[in-house]
Structure 1
Amino acid sequence: MLMIVMVSSCSSGSNRLSVDEGKRLADKTRRPVAQTYWRLYKGIGTSVSQGGGDGRFVDCEDAKADSMVYTTSNLLTSRKKEKESGERLAETAAGKLASIGWSLEPSHGVHRSATKNGVTVELRPTEINDWSIILQAQSGCVNLGAAADVLKDAYSSQSDLYHDSRAATSRVPTKFPDPDSSG
């Protein structure tokens, strides 16, 4: 009886992705979100002030074991001398995004969203002030196996940096943060 439990325990653990397999899947998950981020960034252009964005893996909202989403975000602020309301800024940003094929549907106030090819794009309010909004692109929830714990640790204090870029092709992260570095 004890032997059966051990065998059963070993066989059920073999279905979990290894750290390397999970990281490969994480990279495949991150790439379309990062590419979408840069299309959005360039689509909005200089109509609003954009700082650098960041990206990270976080637990899925429904907290499935070993499952995470990759999310990028960027703070958008009006360039006008007299600050626009968040709602007006969201309308301006949504108009720019619609011109590049992202028609974000409003749900209430500032919040607007759309999903294409497994990537969800959102405009949402921020708690910083009432004249800035967050532009976010996010993957779907994906099971990363043993890599989930490693990535959670790595992204707990660091993120993928999306520096301001006017380049024709913008960089997509190719490495993960090192949790042991003092970045």
Structure 2
Amino acid sequence: MLTTGAALVLAALAAGCGDERIGVSDGKRAADESRQPVAKTYWRLHNALANQLYLTLGVGGFTDCADRNIKNSVEYVVDEPLAAKSEKQTEDQFVAMAKSILSTAGWDLKPAGDMLQSAKKNGIKVQLRSFDRTGDDGALVRLVVVGKCTNVGQAKDDIFDAYGGSERDEYRSSSASPIPIPSFLDSDEAP
């Protein structure tokens, strides 16, 4: 009979190896489910910013988790460049305006590094990333929405193969479909 301590150690080891048992189909389902809250958050913020800033196209895809030691896990990221409507607006003014709009939408971003503003809630991270820019091109930042690190087991390679190169989800504003949320193809096909 195992002691309580030995049973806990074995349970912890089994939990660490559990991702190997997540098959491709279940892994794709987990990845798809992980991107839904990211897409919904992105669209809420995109729509809140729409009247004040120039918006382009949101692009979404899977990346390794920030903690690269987490095996067989991915996080879903949507990002979009945002440009000031006034060329006279400084980078600081532009960031302050975007932060104010995002705060009204429920995201109170705080400085989180050089040229980075960030907030996190319910496992979703929202960031504004500034760029060193010279010249009179006007202010530019990137809106980034990052989801939870999600264990996808054996599907990780398939997910990265499907989202390699230029293959990404495109979040295009459209009057026909104002809130599209991309989804995976059938489980027999790549995401």
TM bin, normalised by shorter chain, reads 0.7 to 0.9
Q: TM-score, normalised by structure 2?
A: 0.78
Counterpart check, 1:146 vs 2:146: no
Alpha-carbon distance in 2 for matches of 1:93, 1:115? 16
Tell me how far 1:81 sits from its aligned partner: 3.5
Q: Is the Cα contact below 8 Å between 1:104 and 1:113 reproduced in 2?
A: yes
- SS of the aligned residue for 1:46 comes to coil
RMSD: 2.5
Matched to 2:21, the amino acid is R
Counterpart check, 1:76 vs 2:82: yes
Distance 1:14 1:98, change over 3 A: closer
**2:143 counterpart residue number:** 135
Q: Which runs of 5+ in 2 are unaligned?
A: 1-16
Q: Which moved more, 1:22-31 or 1:59-68?
A: 59-68
Matched to 1:78, the amino acid is A
Q: TM-score, normalised by structure 1?
A: 0.81
Q: Is the Cα contact below 8 Å between 1:71 and 1:138 reproduced in 2?
A: yes
Cα deviation code 1:150-171 (max 9, x no counterpart): 1111111210000124578501
**2:21 counterpart residue number:** 16
Q: Which moved more, 1:163-172 or 1:56-65?
A: 163-172
**After the TM superposition, which residues 71-110 of structure 1 pair with which residues of structure 2 at under 5 Å, given as runs?**
71-82=77-88, 84-108=89-113, 110=115
**After the TM superposition, which residues 28-39 of structure 1 pair with which residues of structure 2 at under 5 Å, given as runs?**
28-39=33-44
Between the aligned residues of both structures, percent identity stands at 32
Q: Which runs of 5+ in 1 are unaligned?
A: 1-11
**1:174 counterpart residue number:** 183
Q: Is the Cα contact below 8 Å between 2:120 and 2:126 reproduced in 1?
A: yes
Alpha-carbon distance in 2 for matches of 1:34, 1:105? 22
**1:116 counterpart residue number:** 121
One of 25, 28, 31 as aligned partner of 1:26: 31
Q: Is the Cα contact below 8 Å between 1:66 and 1:148 reproduced in 2?
A: yes
Matched to 2:33, the amino acid is K
Tell me how far 1:145 sits from its aligned partner: 0.5
Count of aligned positions: 167
Matched to 2:27, the amino acid is G
Counterpart check, 1:156 vs 2:159: no
Alpha-carbon distance in 2 for matches of 1:179, 1:24? 12
Matched to 2:181, the amino acid is V
